[in-house]
Structure 1
């Protein structure tokens, strides 16, 4: 279990680094969606593993929620979202 958690954490960290490294030409909305999705997937995977659930399911749900939240926050920062 510990090896699986470590491997998952390293994979998520590497994916987050690669995603955020490619964000230089993106707007705040897109950056927020990518960053939020990566962070959400990481948190969801860890939560799924810790609660004896499925890390994969946790990553998918966390990634979707994180991407939506990140996109909304980025949109607000750009001032493009309707109030």
Structure 2
């Protein structure tokens, strides 16, 4: 069940990034997914935001 939730959150983050088309939207979505996936870990939140920002930047080009 946790794996399904984790995959679903990443899929949602990847879909939000192209729709927002910017680094900020991707970072926000990635930060949320990282926070939820790691149960509030600061490292997970920051890592997710960085990954989401990179994805949002690349897809926004």
State TM-score, norm by structure 2. 0.61
Unpaired segments ≥5 residues, structure 2: 1-15
Relative to total residues, which structure has the larger helix share, 1 or 2? Answer: 2
State the structure with more CA Rg: 1
Unpaired segments ≥5 residues, structure 1: 1-19, 21-25, 46-55
Number of corresponding residues:
43
1:71 lines up with 2:46 in the alignment? no
The alignment yields a C-alpha RMSD, in angstroms, of 1.8
Q: Which runs of 4+ in 1 moved over 6 A?
A: none
